Amino acid sequence: MTTGVRRRMAVEERRRQLIGVALELFSHRSPDEVSIDEIAAAAGISRPLVYHYFPGKLSLYEAALKRAAEDLAERFVEPHEGPLGARLLRVMGRFFDFVDEHGPGFSALMRGGPAVAGTLGRDADAAVNANALIDSVRQAAYEEILRHLGITEPPARLELVIRSWVSLAESTALIWLDGRRIPRAELELQLVHDFAALTAVSAAYDTEMAAILTGILAEEPADGPFGDLVARLVALAPR
Amino acid sequence: MTTGVRRRMAVEERRRQLIGVALELFSHRSPDEVSIDEIAAAAGISRPLVYHYFPGKLSLYEAALKRAAEDLAERFVEPHEGPLGARLLRVMGRFFDFVDEHGPGFSALMRGGPAVAGTLGRDADAAVNANALIDSVRQAAYEEILRHLGITEPPARLELVIRSWVSLAESTALIWLDGRRIPRAELELQLVHDFAALTAVSAAYDTEMAAILTGILAEEPADGPFGDLVARLVALAPR
């Protein structure tokens, strides 16, 4: 290994470490409350050395956002084995792990990522980048769920159900973070049920969606999340 | 009426007219594509006169946003008469009227309002204001629905259902605007059904929510939106 390669790896390693430290700090407080001094101290290096790797807090914040976005997108990846309800439930567990780990940072980003970036750099480009990152995670989640359904050319109504469910997962997580008044395990299961419910509402008025719903339910065990929901709803229904 | 009062009224009248003209322009294109010259031309006044009433495009954009937010919040106001399903359906009709009228402006605002404001003034305060306005509309919609349910101290699970449904209405409207591939009347009805579905999912695992759901359904006619949905879902359910 030449010295040049070794040096480049050391630089990459140091950048990775700094991004990790910054992400940890940005996850727990709003970015404008986190100083470069604090990041330097947490990383055990000097302030000038931080600037050697990143020109400013905005670029470090952007790198941390990118790391978080990649991490979040990965949580949606799930083996294509077993019934869909159980798969979605595992995905929701990892999604809430992420939300739990990055609470205030997730909240600040989703409630006003661009505004947050604005307070750092007053830079419209940074705002647009944050929005683009969030959209890329949504798109990855959407495509992953389509793959689980085994559908390559989704009808408009299915696209709507999946995309609006992804947005429902976001808003449910944000509401949960605001006081954590409902156990998260309950909400993970609820979101899986919500997916079935939104699909069922669409299926009630569209034969193509009805065929997709029937296909999903055919693979579900009676004691899985979907089977359990149907049994409880039937018990609730007015007779 | 003194001359002073008359002059003040004329100023208010002129400001109102300018806000209306600006809102119309901002509704159809992204704010950074709309020039003060264009606003002046559309209002039939000179560019300096626009600046006499508003110091710059940002303040005019903010005033237009405020007008739009008030308008949107009003669409959620509905007489407390008749079954809830029919009331919600009328509200959704007015909500989609608004989305239809303000399409690109609504989309730009909801997808990145702060970013949009950023391109106008590179001013973090404007970004925060746009977020606060959006939140005030969400809050008004939430409170209005609570009033329709006749509930003053909502349990955490009901608050979650209503707030996440408001967010679902937003995301459904945004997805609709992107290509308008599904008739809007279908989505208005679907959102009313989604409200019932999200409530039912929550009610399936919580007795307090079950009591609220039962109360709602007791008032619903068999041929109303909720009754029709239940009949169709029962027909779909695996036997």
Domain limits of chain B? 68-236
What is the spatial distance between Cα A69 and Cα B234, in angstroms, rounded to a whole number? Answer: 40
pLDDT digits (tens, 9 = 90+) for A17-55: 999 999 999 998 878 889 999 999 999 999 999 999 999
Following DSSP, what letter does each residue of B2-38 receive, concatenated?
-HHHHHHHHHHHHHHHHHHHHHHHHHHS-GGG--HHH
Predicted confidence (pLDDT) at residue A67 exceeds the cutoff of 60: yes
Residues of A in contact with B187 (CB under 8 A): 160
What is the spatial distance between Cα A143 and Cα A133, in angstroms, rounded to a whole number? Answer: 15
Burial of residue B7, with CB atoms counted within 10 A of its CB: 0-12 exposed, 13-18 middle, 19 or more buried: exposed
> Looking at residue B107, what is its pLDDT?
84
Residues of B in contact with A208 (CB under 8 A): none
Higher pLDDT, A207 or A132: A207
Mean pLDDT in residue range B70-81: 94
> Looking at residue B122, what is its pLDDT?
52
> What residue in B sits closest to A161 (Cα-Cα)?
B172
> Looking at residue B121, what is its pLDDT?
52
Q: How far apart are the first and last CA of chain B?
A: 76
Nearest CA to B230 among B197, B206, B205? Answer: B197
Is residue A161 within 8 Å of residue A198, measured between CB atoms? yes
Task: Say what percent of chain B tops pLDDT 70.
Answer: 90
Inter-chain CB proximity A194 and B201 less than 8 Å: yes
Residues of B in contact with A230 (CB under 8 A): 237-238
Burial of residue A123, with CB atoms counted within 10 A of its CB: 0-12 exposed, 13-18 middle, 19 or more buried: middle
Distance (Å) from the alpha carbon of B85 to chain A's nearest alpha carbon = 14
Residues of B in contact with A200 (CB under 8 A): 197, 233, 236
> Looking at residue B143, what is its pLDDT?
97
pLDDT digits (tens, 9 = 90+) for B85-144: 999 999 999 999 999 999 888 887 787 654 454 555 555 566 667 888 899 999 999 999
pLDDT digits (tens, 9 = 90+) for B181-231: 999 999 999 999 999 999 999 999 999 999 999 999 998 998 888 888 888
How far, in Å, are A41, B67, B133, B173 from residue B139 at the CA level? 41, 16, 10, 18
Mean pLDDT in residue range B62-68: 91
Inter-chain CB proximity A237 and B232 less than 8 Å: no
pLDDT digits (tens, 9 = 90+) for A77-115: 999 999 999 999 999 999 999 999 998 888 877 876 544
Distance (Å) from the alpha carbon of B65 to chain A's nearest alpha carbon = 16
> Looking at residue B109, what is its pLDDT?
78
Is residue A43 within 8 Å of residue A50, measured between CB atoms? yes
What is the spatial distance between Cα B220 and Cα A76, in angstroms, rounded to a whole number? Answer: 39
> What residue in A sits closest to B157 (Cα-Cα)?
A182
Considering the domain B68-236, what is its CATH architecture? Answer: Orthogonal Bundle (1.10)
For A11-98, list the strands marked E by DSSP: none
User: Cβ contacts of residue B102 below 8 Å, gap of 6+?
Assistant: B23, B27, B68
**CATH numeric code, A3-236:** 1.10.357.10
Tell me what the pLDDT averaged over chain B comes to: 89
CB atoms within 10 A of CB B156: 15
Mean pLDDT in residue range A195-220: 94
DSSP 8-class letter at A212: H
Alpha-carbon B42 to chain mean position:
26
Distance (Å) from the alpha carbon of A19 to chain B's nearest alpha carbon = 24
DSSP 8-class letter at B45: S
Q: Measured between CB atoms, which of A112, A203, A238 is closest to B114?
A: A112
Predicted confidence (pLDDT) at residue B236 exceeds the cutoff of 80: no
Q: Measured between CB atoms, which of A111, A190, A203 is closest to B236?
A: A203
Q: Measured between CB atoms, which of B122, B198, B218 is closest to A124?
A: B122
> Looking at residue B114, what is its pLDDT?
45
What is the spatial distance between Cα A104 and Cα A70, in angstroms, rounded to a whole number? Answer: 18
How far, in Å, are A115, A141, B128, B129 from residue B132 at the CA level? 11, 28, 6, 5
What is the spatial distance between Cα A137 and Cα A130, in angstroms, rounded to a whole number? Answer: 11
B81: left (phi over 0), alpha (psi -120 to 50) or beta: beta
Residue in A120, A165, A176, A201 to test binding to B, most B beta-carbons within 10 Å: A201
Residues of B in contact with A194 (CB under 8 A): 197-198, 201
Higher pLDDT, A30 or B50: B50
Nearest CA to B187 among A168, A195, A161? Answer: A161
Q: Measured between CB atoms, which of B127, B181, B218 is closest to A112?
A: B127
Q: Measured between CB atoms, which of A111, A124, A201 is closest to B131?
A: A111
Dihedral angle of Cα A21, A26, A32, A38, to the nearest 10 degrees: -30
Tell me what the pLDDT averaged over chain A comes to: 89
Residue in B89, B138, B164 to test binding to A, most A beta-carbons within 10 Å: B164
Inter-chain CB proximity B203 and A163 less than 8 Å: no
> Looking at residue A114, what is its pLDDT?
45
pLDDT confidence bin for B7, thresholds 50/70/90: confident
Inter-chain CB proximity A127 and B111 less than 8 Å: no
> Looking at residue A143, what is its pLDDT?
97
What is the spatial distance between Cα B3 and Cα B8, in angstroms, rounded to a whole number? Answer: 9
Predicted confidence (pLDDT) at residue A2 exceeds the cutoff of 80: no
| Cα dihedral A61, A95, A157, B212 sign | negative
Place of tokens 């040049």: A4
Inter-chain CB proximity B115 and A122 less than 8 Å: no
Nearest CA to A144 among A72, A212, A198? Answer: A72
pLDDT digits (tens, 9 = 90+) for A156-190: 999 999 999 999 999 999 999 999 999 999 999 99
> Looking at residue B116, what is its pLDDT?
54
Predicted confidence (pLDDT) at residue A1 exceeds the cutoff of 90: no
Higher pLDDT, B14 or A120: B14
